[in-house]
Structures are given as structure tokens and as C-alpha cells.
Structure 1
Amino acid sequence: MKLTNLRLSGFRSFGLSPVTVGLDGLTFLLGPNGAGKTAVLQALARMFSLDPNLRRIKSSDFHIPSDEVAGAPPESRELWLEADFQFPELETDDAEDDELPAVPGNFAHMQLVAKDGPARMRFRLKATIDLDGDIEETFTCVIREDEEGVPVEESRVSKQDRNSIQVHYIPARRNPADHISYSANALLGRALRAADWTAERDDIRDLTGQIEGSLKSNGAIESIGESLAKKWAALHKGAYYASPSVSFAASEIENLLKHLSVGFSPGHGESLVDFSRLSDGQQSLLYISLVLAMHDIGSEVLSGNLDAFNIDKLRPAIFTLIAVEEPENSLSPHYLGRVIKAMTAFSEDDSAQALIATHSPSLLRRVPPESIRYFRLNDDRTTSVRLIVLPEGEVAHKYVREGIQAFPELYFSRLVVLGEGDSEEIVLPRLMAARGILTDDASVSVVPLGGRHVNHFWRLLNALDIPYVTLLDLDVARHQGGWGRIRYAAKNLLAYANIEPNDLTNEDIDSIPVWNSDHGIMVNDEGWIERLEKLGVFFSTPLDLDFMMLMAYPDAYKVEDDQLVEPDEAMLKAVLGKNHDIVGGQYKDGQLEYFDSYHSRFKIGSKPTWHIRAIAELDDDELLETLPQVLDRMFDSIEGKLEDLPE
């Protein structure tokens, strides 16, 4: 039994148009703050949580459209949640009956048949709220649906059937002790009450009777009992309840179980330490351990391999889902890795799944891309959910390595600036700050390509619908530079960038001169740079960002007049490479004189060191005074995109 789809409509950040979240055995929910990740976990808790408080629909759960007129609410609001379950174990020909505990438990609801798969069932939680704040809920099973998947016939679901599916929600902000206490009562308490105590009951009654007798023989207890009886007799004259006494009512097993707690040994200076003394992270680990342990016990009982429990009293879950929100808040990275490993093993069970909502970029390098669900707010501030679709063959491996796992921070960005390398990562945030675009405040990430193909990032960002701009090196006169770089950008924009309007055609791209042809000398760009800038691709001209910054701020980079000399052939090869094109006509007057300074600082010296040192000497006004024009245009584009994005 597996939960395959969760549909949400009118629930928190999910608008009235239904959104489907496809789920795997272990699913990771990613996205910026406020994008709807927590809403998915809470939706599952509203449907199947053990905690009555988490299961109850609240007024804040109802979606309020962003364009709704303030002070004029509708007469009622509606939300609904649907959970689709399938039974892949039915497709196994050699499955034994004791390996299918979920099937008989849900047989009454397995009436919704898929066209190309095994029997499935759909549970539906619907709620409405009126102007007085009164909420009505219904929890049903869908019997029939129309061609568009809309339910046309439903049946009520009993409390016992609903409780057979259990969701354990661990929120990011919590009091761990509350979760442990409730888990101990709801899980361990139920298990111990369902245990077979027949052999031990008489022995425990005798032993507790001896303990109570010893306690009552204490002089202090006798004095309290006598004094209480005397005062009670003076106030109460009835025949019933006439003789009070101090009693230790723990002679029955059930009374002893009420005092159950979880302790650990050894402790620091004491033999047993109560769980409340654990750190928040350790208490979270304990909670997860309890859920995993009780799931294993329930599975053994359902399969008939464990007869130490009364199955009617235990009522083990036939399906368990653990929903963890931002575990990195209370767990260090190595503990987090252990939790992921435990969740992976847990989710391989036919009757178990796990969801993890995370903001931890480092975690994504351990995650299969297919298990990621990316959340983002649309322009109308409703949640959209996207999958990462992998290409086929060897291209998929490069896509994962050079796109998905290369810079995980981009998953949590409102906008991404793609640059060539380390220089862009250092320089651009400082220049944007001078322009008033604070990358942290605006949730803008500057992502270095680091030699990777830009098409992998464009493919990923388009799939996730994350806006972006790109700054590439024009590399005039370098191998495949100039027209070659424009041709490369245009070709990949046409193939991978989902940008509207995009008027590029293959005929246009074929007309771009080859970089080293007779027509490859880049005297002018024939309008191509402006055309690509409208599509979000900018070029550091004429060479790269390092050269552009050197010319814009020569004093900050300590360029002396005597260092401005025409380069010889050896210097041209050192800067442009052995297979460089001719430079005459492609560089403006005075630009070639900076080659020697460029070579000493950025080819021989350290790029990060020189950039950090130079921009530290310049204030905002000085940076903006001679800001390269292409960067000024790019920042205009960034500001325009940010204005249209919800936060």
C-alpha cells in the first residue's frame, strides 16, 4: 500500500484550482519560505494524524485569494484534500496472504479501479466555513469519478478505518517533550495495554500489595491516615465513604502503565536519565525511533509472526507515513545523514512512506533527483509544484552532476544570476548591493557555472520555473570566442530556454559567422548582443568580467601608467591562448594595453584576492560612477524581474 498522489484545493497557499503532488516512497519537498511545503505536511496530518488537534481543520486552513476585497468575504469558503492509495503488492504473483495486511483492511474501499494498474482507493476530506466561523467536515472514500477525475459517488469512512492509516508529523517549530509524551501515550501506551499480561498479573498484584503494605506501615503515613479519618468524620456523617485512608492504588498492571516513561542509561553521575533531559535533537531522534519501532511491531503482529499482543486492542496501522519538517533545525549534519538512511530503509516497506521538507542545500547531494518536489508561489500567490524530469542516456548523468547537484542553493532562490566562475560570485553581489539589490534580502543567488555547460542550468531552472539572468564571457579573439560565444548562447537558448517572447530560429543561428572564419572578425555584433540581452543573456565585453572590472576601476586594481603597453605576440598567447584569432579591429583603442596588467593579476595572480582587495577600496558611489554599461543593463533586468515576483 502506497500513497501515490495528494491533491489540494483551497488549503492554505493552495488555490481553488487543484494541485497534485506526486509522492514516492521517500519524497523531499524543496522551495523558498512560504511556498507551501509545510501546507502539504499539515494536509496529511489533517487527514490521518493520531493527534486530534492536528487532525482538526482550522479557520486558518482556508485559502484567501490575493485579489479578494478586504472586508468583503464570501458567505462560505471550501477546501478539500484527496489522498490516492495504490496496492503495488497485488501485482506480485507469489505474494502470500500474510504479506498483504493492507488489502483486507481496505477491501471495502478498494472500489476505484485504475485503467492501467491495480486496485486503488481515494480518501477525501472536505470542509466548509461560514461567516460565523463554523466549520463542517466530511471524510469520505470516493467510489466513482467522472472522466476528469471529479468524484460523483462517495461513502462515509468509519473512524476505525481512518485510524488504520497513521501520519506522524514532526514540525520544525515544536516542543519535543510534547511529541514524546504524546507518542508514548498513543503508541507505547496502546501497545502495552494490548500486551498479554496473563502470566504476570497475579505476581504483580502480590508484589504491589507488599509495597503498599510496607508504605502504610510507615509512622508518618499512619499519622496522616488517622488525622485525615478524624477530620473527615467530623465533616461527613453519611454511611458511604465513611472511612478514608491513604492508598497507593497501583496494584493493577493498568495503573502501573500510567507511570510509563522513557529513560536512558548510563547517565552522567546517575544510573537512569529521563528523556526530558535530552537535547531537542536527541528528543527528535527518540520520537522517530518510537514510530519506527512501533511500525515494526505492528507489521509483525499483522503478519502473524508475533502473538504477544491482542491485535484487537493494539489496532496496528496498516500504513504509516512520517512527515518531517526541516530536520536540520535540530540535527547536526551527521545525525541528519543517519535519519535519511533510516527513512530510506523505512520507506522500502510496502506499508510505509516518508516526506521530508528541507532547507538544507548539503542534503540535496544525497538525494535522488526523481524524489524532489519543488514548490514555488505563482504570481497570484498560490502554490505550484514541479518535478525534475531527467533526460535519457548519458545526458542524464551530466544533467544531475552539472545542474541539479552543482549549486543546491538555487532551489531556495527567487531569482538566479548565472555567471562564469569565482569572479562573478565575488563581484556581482557587491555591485548589486551598491545598486540597492541586496542578494540576501531579495533571495537572489549568484551561481557560478565553473566550466559547466550553461544548458544544464537553463534546463533545470526552466523546469523549476525559477527566473534567471546569465552573464557570459564574450572572449573576443579567444578560441571559439566572439561570434562563437554568441552562436553557442543563441543555440542553447533556442533548445533549452523557455522564454517568451523568443523569436530565435535555426535560420537566424545558422547565419551567425563561425568564430575563426573570414567573416568571424567581430567589428560589430550586428544587434545580436541587444537581442540576446532581451532574452536574459548578457556578455562581459570584450573579454570577460575580470578584464571589464580592470578597465572600469584601474586605480582600485593598482594599474600604473607605465604598465599600459601594447602586448607582443607572447602576451597575446598568454591572455588569449595559442589558437587565438586576430585582435586587430576587434578591440578598441587602448584596450589591448591592459593585457599585461590583466595577465599579472588574473592569469598569474589570484582572481578572488584581487577582486576582494579592489572592491573593498570603493564605496557605493565610486562603484556606480564607472559601472560597466552591460552590468547596469543586467541590473535593470534583475530589478524588473524581482518586481513581478511574489515573496
Structure 2
Amino acid sequence: MKISKLKIEGFRSFGFTEVVLNLENKLTAFIGLNSAGKTTALEALKKLFGATLADRELTRQDFHIGKNENSETISERILSIEVRIDFSEEEQDSVPHFFSEMVVDDEAKDPYLRIRLEASWNKSALTPLGEIDVKTYFINVAEAEEESDENKKMFPNHYRNLIQVLYVPAIRKPAEQLKYASGSILYRVLRKIKWDDRFKEEFDSNIKGINDQFKGLPVFNTVQESISDFWGKFHKDERYKESSLEFGGSDFDSILKKLEISFSPTGTHKPFGVDELGEGYRSLFYLTLVCSLLDVEEKLAEIEDDEVIGQTSPLLTILAIEEPENHIAPQLLGRVIKILKTISDKENSQVLLSSHTPAIIKRLEPESILHFRITKEYNSEVNQIQLPAKTEDAYKYVKEAVQNYPEIYFARLVVIGEGDSEEVIFNRLMNVMDVDFDDNIITFAPLGHRFVNHIWKLLNTLNIPYITLLDLDREREGGGWGRVKYALKQLLEIGMNREELLAIDGDTDNKTLSEEDLNKMHTWKTEVNDSDLEGWVESLKEYNVFYSSPLDLDFLMLTHYPDFYKSAVPKGGGPQIPDKEEKIENFTKKLNTAIQATLKSENAIGETYSEEEKELMIWYNYHFLGRGKPTTHIQALSSMTDYDLEINMPPVFSEIFKRISEIIKGSEA
């Protein structure tokens, strides 16, 4: 059995509209920026299925207060936390416990269970914090059907033993978790051991012998007498007249409270206790403790009845781990996730974790991730990661892209570029344009133009704005008009308004580009100073799609800062250009070869490029086809001052950074 849905309404940052979290996998990750509601969602499960009264207790602060509400004027509030529980074929043994409470959507559909906590808070003249009423119900009607009070049945307290949440907070206290506590997993495991009567008698005898030996020591008796003497002076109550200093623990509860784990060898000739470990190892051991106890509990269920006491294990234990990355070295996080996946595969376990680090996210399947964000109304919003269908070629590409650049999940704005060159250049331009990507939580992702509509769909789903910089690739195969057609098609794929997107600029009859013309756009011939092409490039900026024109970003930088890039060569290096006056034939051959290599065609002549641009293609060929692109940009940029960059800034960069500032300001409004 597993929780397949968690529905939250009116609980802390979750507002008055019900939010549904689909937990399709047995290991699910909650991700997002700080204070987005991840911990709140884990806490919601604890309020419903916590092992102790303290875990399940609700306070005034648990009830949602809207952005502009004055808490002093609120007289009542309600909240609800509901789960849907489904049962797999392998876990049909759990069904009999809940059979009479199960519901079904339709014939031939699998039955499921609905459990809901409903709570109300009312202001009180007698109690400063108000009065809270909490009830938990089975909901005996399918999700799609209308509810009434008749469909609610009280959830019996003894059922709480069947479903329990084990919450691992961000601040780890492993020593405390080792102590014997009612309701803990350790308690559940140790209580199942049948303590042999003979063992108990021998244990009591040994404890008595140790106490007698201590009492035989003169100094020990001095301590005992001093305590008894002063105790008698402080009070005269006959009930507590005698005091005795001795090792207690003849009952097993006392012994279990003193259980400790030590680690050796330590290099100090003494074992270390849990509290002597570093923060990282303490955090790892906390997770070790939780996982191993779940494993032991499962194994004890298979032991013969004469060795253990009854079957008291929950049918489902939800392991809710907050920030598993805390204090742990990044290279160990792979092991942590692997162990958690192993635990989630067990029949009696489900794992939910919260995180805001890419190091964790890149190790998880995107389908198992839920993205949390806070809206402008300060409410938690939760969205699933959407990928193309697994049957599409785009699936593998997009999945690998988001796993390689998980930072996009945590961004307020994503700048999408073609490759590594863009990342190097944007990192340098941040200083010149006075827009700090880190400070504004802007992520650059070199995801290329391939399948870009799926990246756009993903970011739209997560409500993360984005700006895209593509190469125009004029005179390359599929470039120029082909690149414009590609962008238009991709924007239509994500649902942009066709009439607005394909409106023909300057047409007095408000005509739009026909489907036939759009499909043929890539065949249109690119002219010198093609105003039609530039017009479409300009219109796409309204959709945050920009182009490195006329070719790509590398050529753009070379044409705007030619002297710096010509200087970015090793001593004695360079493209070895023949003198175009003295060796015109050799120069022409070198030039034609560079044009063909740059435009990636043996028939290319660069007819839409100026003579100066074509000559720069010799340098383009040398720098960006024969050497590493990022390395060349780093070398050239390091020789430029901010002033050098600013006075020759390509207009497209100024436009992009202006748009970035507008989006960031809009998100802060």
C-alpha cells in the first residue's frame, strides 16, 4: 500500500484552495526554494499519522492566514489534510484491515482508501490561543462523487498503529533517537523480542552482585552516607526516608533507555559515541539508524512466533526526510539516495524527501519530483515535472537536460542558450550590465535549440519565466528563415495564440501567416539586408526569443570585438592569413575555405555577409572550429575592461538584460 495523493487545504502556507500532491512513485522528492512549503507538506502527513499526540497536535499557527489578512480580526479558520491510499497486487494482505472503508471510482477499477483530518479553530474569550477541534475520518465516497456528512466515518485510534510517519527533521539528533521512547520504531522492534524468564533472573542477579561489590568499597559508602544524611535533613517524609545509591535497571525498560552505540577504531584508543562524531557522520548515522530499523522490522516479521511477540508492525511506514543532504559531503549523496530507493522498494515503506540542492535532484528521476513555489499571494503552489512521452525522441534529451542542469528548478528566471559559449559570456556580462545572476536567482542553462518547446513547457508548468537565445545561422542549412520557422512552430506547440504570433507585420488587413506559408518558410530565400527576416526576428522578442545574428554567438562576439579576439592567440599562433594584395590567389583560397567551413557547406559563398564579415570567418574557423570555444572566449574577455565591453555591446545583449530586469522587477511586485 502507498499514499498516492496528499490533499492540503488551509494548513500553514497552503491557502483556501485545495492543493493536490500526486505521489506516483514510492520515493517522491519535494523541491523548491526556501519557505516554499516543502516542510509543511511533510508536517501535514505527521499531523495525520504521527506516532505520538505531540506529533499530531495542531496549534493556532497551523491555520492559514492570507497575505493581507489581520490575524487579530480572524474569528475562525478550518483546515483539512487528506490522503488517498492505493493497494498493489503484492500488498493485498493489507486490504482486509480496511476493506469495509474502501471506495471505487467505477466498475473494474481498483478500490482505494480515503482518510481525512478536518480541524477548526475558533477565537475564544477564555483561551488566548483559541479552541481547536480535530477529527479524523474515513471518507466513504469516491473522489469524483459529491460528499455529505453521511459519507464520513470516524477513524478509530487503534488504526493509527497501521499507518505511521517517521519524520527525520533537518536538524539531526541521533543520540536522542537511540533512546527508548514509546511509539518509536526502536520501541516497536525491541518490544517484539521474547525475553526469556531465566535470562531476566540471571540479569537481576548480576545487577545485584555488582551493586553489592560497590557497596563494599569504603569510599562508595562514604558517598552513600553523605547523600542519606543530607537527604534526611531536607525533609521528614517517611515515605522517602531511605535513599540508596546503586545501578538501577532490573526492569528492561530502564536498560533499553541506556542503549548506546559506539564506533571504533578511532585512533584515540577509545571508542567514540554518536555525539562525538562530526556533523556529517552524525547525519549519515541518523539515516542509517532509521533505515536499518525499518529493515530489521521487516526481517522480524519472518521469524518464528516462538522467538518474537506478535505482529505489531505498521502496514505502512512513511519515511519523511527533510534535507537529506545536510552536513553530508556531495560525493556521498549518491549513496544516500541509493539507500533511500532501496527502502522505498520495500512493501511496508514509502519515502518522501524535501531538498533544495541540485546535488540531490540530479540523482532522482524527474517523474518522482514535485516542484514547490510561493505565489504572489504567499500561498504554496505544487506542480509535477512534465516530460515528453517516453515514446518520443525528445524524452531522453529533455530528461538528461534537466538532470544535468537541475538548477533550473530553483530559478526565478532561466536564460536558455545554445551551448557553453553563452554561459561564459553571460557570466562576464553580469558585471557590466549590473545584473547579478546569483543574487537574483537567475540560472543559465545551455540546453540548445533541439526540442526547446519541451523545455519551455516544463518551465511554463513550474511557472518559471525564461528567455531564450538561439543562433540565426544565416546561410547554414536550416538557418535563417528555417530558424525563425522553428521558433514559431515551437511557440505554437506550447499554446501561443496563433493569430497574434503569426500576424503579418504592417498588413493593414490584419492577416496572419497561413499554415501552408509557415510550412514553406524554411525554403524562402534570404536576401541581403532582408527586412522581412529581421521583422520576424524582431517580433519574436515579444515572446522572449532572441537571436545571435547573423550567424551565432561566437561570430557575434568576433564581429563586435575583432581586435581582442585576434589578440587571443598563443605566441606565434594565428590563422596564417596570406597577404590579400601580394598573394591574392592564396588569400582567396583561404577565404573561400573559411567561408565554407564557417557556413558548413561546400557551396557556401556568404552572399548575405559583408566583405569584412567574410574575412572574419578566417578567424572564426581558427578560433571556434579549430580550438575550444569557451577557452577562446575566456581568453578574449579577460583582456577586455568593462568599458571595452560596454562601448561595443551587441544590441541583442542590451535587449536581453533589459528584459531580464523587467521580469525580475515584475516577480517582485
Q: How would you bin the TM-score normalised by the shorter chain?
A: 0.7 to 0.9
Cα offset, 1:25, TM superposition:
0.8
2:198 aligns with 199
Alignment of 1:246-325 (within 5 A): 246-270=245-269, 272-300=271-299, 305-311=304-310, 315-325=312-322
Cα offset, 1:293, TM superposition:
3.2
CA distance in 2, matches of 1:444, 1:643: 13
Describe the shift of the 1:327–1:506 C-alpha distance in structure 2 as closer, same or farther (beyond 3 A). farther
Cα offset, 1:80, TM superposition:
1.6
Percent sequence identity over matched residues? 34
CA distance in 2, matches of 1:208, 1:590: 97
What do the CA deviations read for 1:463-521 (whole angstroms, capped 9, x no partner)? 43321111111111222221121122222222246579953377257347655655666
CA distance in 2, matches of 1:17, 1:327: 30
**Which moved further from structure 2: 193-202 or 505-514?**
505-514
Alignment-mate amino acid for residue 473 of structure 1: D
2:584 aligns with none
Unaligned ranges ≥5, structure 2: 503-511, 569-575, 581-586
How many residues align? The count is 633
What do the CA deviations read for 1:61-99 (whole angstroms, capped 9, x no partner)? 333322x1557642223322111112224xx6xx8xxx7
CA distance in 2, matches of 1:286, 1:182: 17
CA distance in 2, matches of 1:201, 1:291: 28
1:540 is aligned to 2:548: yes
1:372 aligned residue (369, 373, 381): 369
1:553 aligns with 561
Cα offset, 1:614, TM superposition:
3.1
Query: 1:556 is paired with a residue of what secondary structure?
Result: helix
Query: 2:172, 2:283 within 8 Å by CA — same for their partners in 1?
Result: no
CA distance in 2, matches of 1:318, 1:219: 56
CA distance in 1, matches of 2:402, 2:211: 66
CA distance in 2, matches of 1:149, 1:305: 47
Query: 2:78, 2:119 within 8 Å by CA — same for their partners in 1?
Result: yes
CA distance in 2, matches of 1:485, 1:449: 16
Alignment-mate amino acid for residue 33 of structure 2: P
Query: 1:65 is paired with a residue of what secondary structure?
Result: coil
Query: 2:481, 2:524 within 8 Å by CA — same for their partners in 1?
Result: no
1:492 aligns with 490
Alignment-mate amino acid for residue 57 of structure 2: R
CA distance in 2, matches of 1:29, 1:427: 33
Query: 1:29, 1:358 within 8 Å by CA — same for their partners in 2?
Result: yes
What do the CA deviations read for 1:614-636 (whole angstroms, capped 9, x no partner)? 33344444433332222222222
- TM-score, normalised by the number of residues in structure 1: 0.87
CA distance in 2, matches of 1:289, 1:499: 53
Describe the shift of the 1:621–1:173 C-alpha distance in structure 2 as closer, same or farther (beyond 3 A). farther
Query: 1:47, 1:125 within 8 Å by CA — same for their partners in 2?
Result: yes
Alignment-mate amino acid for residue 80 of structure 2: W
1:624 aligns with 646
2:14 aligns with 14
CA distance in 1, matches of 2:281, 2:344: 22
2:619 aligns with 597
Alignment of 1:236-635 (within 5 A): 241-270=240-269, 272-300=271-299, 305-311=304-310, 315-387=312-384, 388-395=386-393, 397-450=395-448, 452-496=450-494, 503-504=501-502, 507=514, 510-511=517-518, 515=522, 518=525, 523-526=530-533, 527-558=535-566, 568-579=591-602, 581-584=604-607, 586-588=608-610, 590-635=612-657
Describe the shift of the 1:232–1:336 C-alpha distance in structure 2 as closer, same or farther (beyond 3 A). closer
**Which moved further from structure 2: 255-264 or 54-63?**
54-63
1:62 aligns with 63
**Which moved further from structure 2: 320-329 or 587-596?**
587-596
Describe the shift of the 1:282–1:184 C-alpha distance in structure 2 as closer, same or farther (beyond 3 A). farther
Query: 1:281, 1:330 within 8 Å by CA — same for their partners in 2?
Result: yes
Alignment-mate amino acid for residue 652 of structure 2: V
Query: 2:564 is paired with a residue of what secondary structure?
Result: coil
Query: 1:479, 1:580 within 8 Å by CA — same for their partners in 2?
Result: no
Describe the shift of the 1:256–1:38 C-alpha distance in structure 2 as closer, same or farther (beyond 3 A). closer
CA distance in 2, matches of 1:235, 1:76: 52
Cα offset, 1:419, TM superposition:
0.9
Query: 1:483, 1:520 within 8 Å by CA — same for their partners in 2?
Result: no
Cα offset, 1:26, TM superposition:
0.9
Query: 1:195 is paired with a residue of what secondary structure?
Result: coil
CA distance in 2, matches of 1:405, 1:237: 72
Alignment-mate amino acid for residue 186 of structure 1: S
Query: 1:455 is paired with a residue of what secondary structure?
Result: helix
Describe the shift of the 1:248–1:625 C-alpha distance in structure 2 as closer, same or farther (beyond 3 A). same
1:141 aligns with 137
Alignment-mate amino acid for residue 82 of structure 1: E
What do the CA deviations read for 1:114-168 (whole angstroms, capped 9, x no partner)? 4353332222223334454325141312333474565643233333322432212
1:117 is aligned to 2:147: no
Describe the shift of the 1:126–1:644 C-alpha distance in structure 2 as closer, same or farther (beyond 3 A). farther
Alignment-mate amino acid for residue 475 of structure 1: D
1:210 is aligned to 2:217: no
Alignment-mate amino acid for residue 41 of structure 1: L
Alignment of 1:120-131 (within 5 A): 120-131=112-123
What do the CA deviations read for 1:306-327 (whole angstroms, capped 9, x no partner)? 5433338xx4222111112222
CA RMSD after TM alignment: 3.4
2:662 aligned residue (626, 640, 643): 640
Unaligned ranges ≥5, structure 1: none
Alignment-mate amino acid for residue 291 of structure 2: L
CA distance in 2, matches of 1:632, 1:81: 49
2:95 aligns with 103
Query: 1:195, 1:310 within 8 Å by CA — same for their partners in 2?
Result: yes
Query: 1:421, 1:451 within 8 Å by CA — same for their partners in 2?
Result: no
CA distance in 2, matches of 1:499, 1:33: 35
CA distance in 2, matches of 1:80, 1:627: 55
Query: 1:471 is paired with a residue of what secondary structure?
Result: strand
Cα offset, 1:181, TM superposition:
4.3
Alignment-mate amino acid for residue 144 of structure 1: N
Query: 2:65, 2:71 within 8 Å by CA — same for their partners in 1?
Result: no
2:32 aligns with 31
Describe the shift of the 1:158–1:19 C-alpha distance in structure 2 as closer, same or farther (beyond 3 A). same
Query: 1:223 is paired with a residue of what secondary structure?
Result: helix
2:75 aligns with 75
Query: 1:27, 1:355 within 8 Å by CA — same for their partners in 2?
Result: yes
Query: 2:109 is paired with a residue of what secondary structure?
Result: coil
